């Protein structure tokens, strides 16, 4: 089914009749196509479902192109990013082209579905702005963090699942919660990996997020648990390149206060709720996607 | 009627419930609202027409935000541009938010109208890419230039006029040609002004376009008319900061070969066709908008 989605995206790109755009598009890494999986698992492999999946993946690719410019990211899924190779301008323009093509094809689907997806893109764009703004200062407001990752990461997954459910005539509320929980948990785990996953070059976690000003959930919880002196110490390290001993101190505090487990468990609660909903609906594949997310060490 | 459009845009922005976005939006210059004028003159002042005009102006504002980033422009309608004040990232993000809000509201209108407008945004985005690519080398392909300005400038005006005509149940083909011709002529005249309008700081035309690599219509025609030696001379000046004597030479050649008149007349033909179509339809206001465009010296 994913092959059909790839072919449909390719058709959409080819219909633009522009060799340069086709060439640039082919340079983008394909990724996990998680959103396309959700959509085709929920709504099946008929043409409308394949179109919806292709559109959502084009919109997702557009958002990543702009995200890499905004984050000054030079790598995307192990490859040099488009902005790293061709500069920010090309990444912005290619993103705009994929967005507008996606939106145009969306107007040809059911208007309720077009509304759900385009509304998610508003949330996604606002989430991007919030991410940048929150990173400007040491922010330990958990509600703000959750709202931001919901917009940035979960909104399009929520919309993918619920619009596919609408297409298939299923109970879309359950699928919406499934997509939303999966998206938030996915981002929580991604943020967690920044303090737990060993970097190849450093031999220990890179703590990139904190250096870039992002006070993700682990930092929010750690700050809560530190004593006043250490609170100030942590705050003073925000948005700085940490020395080896500073970074060891952060990791030690994270470990002492059991932060990885706390954060992992919080993500797990969301995923378990998502799994339970899919168990009720007999959606085995969707159940398994969620299960895989928590079925390994972080 | 334009007041109603401003109010509708403001409502759309307010509905995002985000103080920072509202503040940034209010910093954008309002501009001539040419597209909103076309739409409300064609489709009147009822709610659907006002919504369409507001959506198109939001999309247009989004495209200008990204355009300024891509052109490294620091000024927009006499004010510092958003990218100049807050950096490229904020301009990209605000553009994405206005685009996605515009698209989302578009899905709530008639699907034919949503298709026409979003298709124009594809052309607009591709036109932006073509503009950048063409500027990389000395390009004297007139067809390519016309195709590019059609995408970049005329496509959204064409779509504004034709979608408004669809809304009003009018003969949309004529309105489409009107909008397209107006847009192409508008860009041709804008490009002409770069070689004829006296710059405040320099006391003579700035020739910005050529320095930035843009071989607009005046350069395409001039190159055609120059002898072989001067062809090479002009080509060698492409994309460079011209000395005073080089820039005088270019202006002298433009004048000797009557380029401003040739280009102006070409734009005028398009505008006259647009005017004739509106005369047939008894559209006095639209006739006058076109007339004003050619009723002054360039």
Read off the pLDDT of residues B33-81 as tens digits, 9 standing for 90 and up.
Answer: 999 999 999 999 999 999 999 999 999 999 999 999 998 888 888 888 8
Report the share of chain B in percent with pLDDT over 90. 86
Of the candidates B16, B104, B119, which has its C-beta nearest A118's C-beta? B104
How many angstroms separate the CA atoms of B140 and B224, rounded? 8
In this prediction, residue A177 carries a pLDDT of: 98
Residues A43 and A119 in one domain: no
**Partner-chain contact A97 B129, CB within 8 Å:** yes
In this prediction, residue A202 carries a pLDDT of: 60
Chain B residues within an 8 Å CB radius of A114: 107, 114
* Top-confidence residue, B200 or B217: B217
Residues B257 and B147 in one domain: yes
User: pLDDT digit string (tens) for B165-210?
Assistant: 999 999 899 999 999 999 999 999 999 999 998 876 656 787 889 9
**Partner-chain contact A125 B69, CB within 8 Å:** no
* Top-confidence residue, B107 or A205: B107
- In eight-state DSSP terms, residue B206 is -
A88/B contact by beta carbon, under 8 A = yes
Q: What's A14's domain CATH number?
A: 1.10.600.10
**Partner-chain contact B107 A104, CB within 8 Å:** no
In this prediction, residue A81 carries a pLDDT of: 87
**Mean pLDDT in residue range A235-263:** 95
In this prediction, residue B246 carries a pLDDT of: 94
Task: Compare all CA atoms of chain B with the CA of A101 and give the residue at the minimum distance.
Answer: B122
Residues B123 and B75 in one domain: no
In this prediction, residue A17 carries a pLDDT of: 97
Report the share of chain A in percent with pLDDT over 90. 86
- In eight-state DSSP terms, residue A79 is E
Chain B residues within an 8 Å CB radius of A132: 89-90, 93
Find the distance separating the first CA and the last CA of chain A, reported in whole Å. Answer: 30
> In the predicted model, is pLDDT for residue B141 greater than 70?
yes
Of the candidates B18, B66, B122, which has its C-beta nearest A92's C-beta? B66
Cα of A175 to nearest chain B Cα, Å: 21
Residues B171 and B278 in one domain: yes
**Mean pLDDT in residue range A233-257:** 95
Band of residue B120 on the pLDDT scale cut at 50, 70, 90 = very high
Residue with tokens 């002042």: B45
A144/B contact by beta carbon, under 8 A = no
Residues B93 and B133 in one domain: no
Look up residue A130 and give its two tokens: 């919030």
**Partner-chain contact B66 A103, CB within 8 Å:** no
Contacts of A196 (CB under 8 A, 6+ apart): A205, A260, A298
Residues A212 and A149 in one domain: yes
Residues B89 and B184 in one domain: no
Band of residue A201 on the pLDDT scale cut at 50, 70, 90 = low
**Partner-chain contact B114 A133, CB within 8 Å:** no
Residue with tokens 């124009």: B120
Pair A17, A52: CB distance under 8 Å: no
Task: Compare all CA atoms of chain B with the CA of A70 and give the residue at the minimum distance.
Answer: B89
**Partner-chain contact B100 A20, CB within 8 Å:** no
Band of residue B115 on the pLDDT scale cut at 50, 70, 90 = very high
Of the candidates B89, B100, B118, which has its C-beta nearest A125's C-beta? B100
User: pLDDT digit string (tens) for A98-125?
Assistant: 999 999 999 999 999 999 999 999 999 9
In this prediction, residue A297 carries a pLDDT of: 61
Helix or strand or coil: residue B282? coil
Which residues constitute the domain of residue B126?
A: 110-298
CB burial of residue B70 (10 Å; 0-12, 13-18, 19+):
buried
Cα of B262 to nearest chain A Cα, Å: 31
**Partner-chain contact A122 B104, CB within 8 Å:** yes
How many angstroms separate the CA atoms of A266 and A120, rounded? 24
Band of residue B23 on the pLDDT scale cut at 50, 70, 90 = very high
Rounded CA Rg of chain B? 20
Residue B164 has phi, psi (to 5 degrees) of -65, -40
Residues B127 and B264 in one domain: yes
> In the predicted model, is pLDDT for residue A92 greater than 90?
yes
Residues A205 and A103 in one domain: no
In this prediction, residue B74 carries a pLDDT of: 86
Pairing of β B79-80 and β B75-76: antiparallel
Residues A91 and A145 in one domain: no
Pair A29, A66: CB distance under 8 Å: no
Residues B134 and B167 in one domain: yes
B73/A contact by beta carbon, under 8 A = no
> In the predicted model, is pLDDT for residue A214 greater than 70?
yes
Listed residues A109, A136, A169: the one ending a domain? A109
Half-sphere CA count of A71, side-chain side, radius 13 A: 22
Helix or strand or coil: residue B76? strand
Q: Which of A52, A86, A107, A127 to mutate to test the interface with B (most CBs of B within 10 A)?
A: A107
* Top-confidence residue, A82 or A162: A162
Q: What is the mean pLDDT of chain A?
A: 94
**Partner-chain contact A93 B121, CB within 8 Å:** no
Chain B residues within an 8 Å CB radius of A122: 16, 97, 100-101, 104
Pair B115, A108: CB distance under 8 Å: yes
Residue B269 has phi, psi (to 5 degrees) of -60, -45
**Mean pLDDT in residue range B81-108:** 95
Chain B residues within an 8 Å CB radius of A104: 115, 118-119, 121-122
How far is residue B253 CA from its own chain's centroid?
A: 27
Number of domains comprising chain B: 2
Pair A236, A137: CB distance under 8 Å: no
Residues A38 and A74 in one domain: yes
Task: Give the CA dihedral B80, B83, B86, B88, nearest 10 degrees.
Answer: -170
Q: Which of A14, A16, A100 to mutate to test the interface with B (most CBs of B within 10 A)?
A: A100
Look up residue B53 and give its two tokens: 């005009």
Band of residue B298 on the pLDDT scale cut at 50, 70, 90 = low
Chain A residues within an 8 Å CB radius of B133: 20
Listed residues B64, B87, B109: the one ending a domain? B109
A272/B contact by beta carbon, under 8 A = no
Listed residues B57, B90, B109: the one ending a domain? B109
Of the candidates B90, B124, B126, which has its C-beta nearest A16's C-beta? B126
Pair B215, B139: CB distance under 8 Å: yes
**Partner-chain contact A94 B129, CB within 8 Å:** yes
User: pLDDT digit string (tens) for A26-85?
Assistant: 999 888 999 999 999 999 999 999 999 999 999 999 999 999 999 888 888 888 889 889
């Amino acid at each position: 089914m994913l092959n059909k989605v790839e072919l449909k995206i390719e058709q959409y790109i080819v219909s633009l009749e522009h060799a340069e755009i086709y060439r640039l598009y082919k340079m983008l890494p394909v990724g996990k196509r998680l959103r396309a999986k959700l959509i085709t698992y929920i709504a099946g492999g008929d043409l409308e479902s394949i179109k919806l999946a292709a559109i959502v993946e084009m919109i997702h690719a557009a958002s990543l192109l702009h995200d890499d410019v905004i984050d000054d990211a030079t790598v995307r899924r192990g490859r040099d990013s488009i902005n790293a190779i061709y500069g920010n301008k090309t990444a912005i323009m290619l993103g705009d082209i994929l967005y507008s093509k996606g939106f145009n094809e969306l107007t040809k689907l059911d208007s309720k579905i077009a509304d759900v997806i385009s509304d998610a893109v508003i949330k996604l764009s606002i989430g991007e702005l919030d991410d940048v703004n929150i990173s400007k200062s040491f922010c330990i407001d958990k509600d703000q963090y959750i709202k931001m990752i919901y917009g940035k990461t979960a909104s399009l997954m929520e919309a993918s699942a619920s619009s596919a459910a609408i297409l298939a005539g299923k109970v879309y509320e359950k699928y919406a919660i499934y997509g939303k929980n999966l998206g938030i948990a996915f981002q929580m785990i991604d943020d967690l990996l920044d303090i737990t996953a060993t970097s190849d070059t450093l031999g220990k976690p890179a703590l990139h997020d904190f250096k870039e000003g992002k006070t993700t959930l682990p930092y929010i919880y750690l700050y809560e648990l530190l004593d006043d002196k250490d609170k100030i110490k942590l705050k003073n390290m925000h948005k700085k390149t940490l020395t080896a001993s500073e970074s060891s101190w952060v990791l030690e505090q994270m470990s002492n206060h059991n932060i990885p487990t706390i954060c992992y468990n919080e993500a797990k609660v969301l995923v378990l709720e998502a799994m339970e909903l899919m168990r009720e609906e007999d959606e085995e594949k969707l159940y398994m996607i969620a299960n895989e997310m928590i079925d390994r060490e972080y």
